[in-house]
Amino acid sequence: MAVTVASVPGARTKLNSNQIKGFWAAWGGWCLDGMDAFIYALVLVPALTDLLPQSGIEATPGNIGYYGSILQALFLLGWGLSMVWGPVADKLGRVKALMMTILFYSVFTFMCGLVTSIWQLAILRVLCGIGLGGEQPMGGTFVAEEWPEDRRKMGAGLMHTGYYFGFFIAALANYIIGANYGWRWMFIFGGLPALLVSWIRVGVREPETWKKQAAATAHRSAIAPFAELFAPHYLRRTIVASLLFTVSIIGLWAGSIYIPAAVTQIAVREGYAAADAARMASYGAAILAVGTIIGCLIAPWLAERLGRRLAMATYYVALGVSVAIAFGSVFYQPGALQPFFVLIFFMGLGGANFAIFTLWLPEQYATSCRASAIAFISSVGRFVGVGMIFLVGSGIQRYGSLGVPVAITATAFIAGLLIVPLAHETRGKALPA
């Protein structure tokens, strides 16, 4: 890896052109990934209000919550299947795999704008999940391997902000496109990330670290990196990291993803028209994004100051407490909109726990299996998330509202706090070769 070291003692290593271009490729992909994923949350209510009757199902609030949860679960199923990109990246390269994932989710998101039934949308959400779930492990692996050691951790935190800048783009698009032209055009807009692929193809080359490893292990089969994850040296950290990521998935998908629907319902209850309620949901998404971006920016500092385990525990407490209060209490109160917005900000801060994974997971595995490890750990927990989404959806249908069922999911963070001490601490250690 070619780097230019600053001559001033204590100065940070200067980034070369491939490190800069590669970072923006990974950040841009993750940004558009976040935009793509959050589009569905923003258009959940209007899309199902149209599609359920066309599919022979009454569009009641309970049915919208129930079938919306099923679609979320199917999306998570697809995201779980995205672990297939790990061996692709370890065998063919980080940049090639990154381009494939972006193209994959862009095409199928575009097609979501053309559906005529909820069943068609369900199939496409699985396919979208396969593509979306692969982008972050590929981009995160590239940044970890290509950036110099003294800037790698900050690079991980900065890269993860891209996902939530994507929330801003989705919220802005919903404010302009969704509120005026409808949910179909939001999905069509979500197909734009495909344009990024051509820029990546001509502007970014593979990390030298991966090239050396690929040359030395060219004889290995494509599934060999997966087998390595369960060798005695890695088995415990693979299991523990997977459990922690599962806790985070429950917090994200059973908590913050319901924020637009919750804000929409509160706004309608307080007398806002449908278009204005959609704009309130966009405001909520923007607040969530601001909180999470701030949380991502402080994640590298916090991880170095407290260690990876204690930093993760801090984020879990922030997210768990804010989800419990926001959905379990404030959601049902008169005049709930403003205090709910305040708690959304803290949910955003806590949701930045994924930035800890972005810098922590690469530190636990060697180059030969790093992409497979990150892809597996960030995917396997989503299969558990599928079950949780079904449980939450059933709870919403039976309870008649999404408040209490979503609030109960905050108990997952208690389990997370018990698991964190078992994780492999890597503070002060260099990235393994």
Write b or e for each residue in 253-285: b if 16 or more Cβ atoms lie within 10 A of its Cβ, otherwise e.
bbbbbbbbbbbbbbbbeeebeeeebbbbbbbbb
Sequence letter at residue 386: V
* pLDDT at residue 218, as a whole number: 67
* pLDDT at residue 136, as a whole number: 81
Q: 195 CB contacts (<8 Å, ≥6 apart)?
A: none
Sequence letter at residue 44: L
Please classify residue 87 by burial: count the beta carbons closer than 10 Å to its beta carbon, then call 0-12 exposed, 13-18 middle and 19+ buried.
Answer: buried
* pLDDT at residue 209, as a whole number: 82
* pLDDT at residue 9, as a whole number: 43
- CA-nearest of 254, 253, 252, 274 to 265 is 274
* pLDDT at residue 255, as a whole number: 61
Beta bridge partner(s), residue 14: 4
Please classify residue 107 by burial: count the beta carbons closer than 10 Å to its beta carbon, then call 0-12 exposed, 13-18 middle and 19+ buried.
Answer: middle
Sequence letter at residue 29: G
- CA-nearest of 68, 73, 138 to 103 is 138
Q: What are the average pLDDT values for consecutive 10-residue runs of the chain, which has 433 residues?
A: 42 85 86 79 85 90 81 82 88 88 89 93 92 85 89 88 82 83 89 79 82 75 83 94 92 71 89 84 84 92 95 96 94 93 94 92 91 88 76 78 87 95 93 84
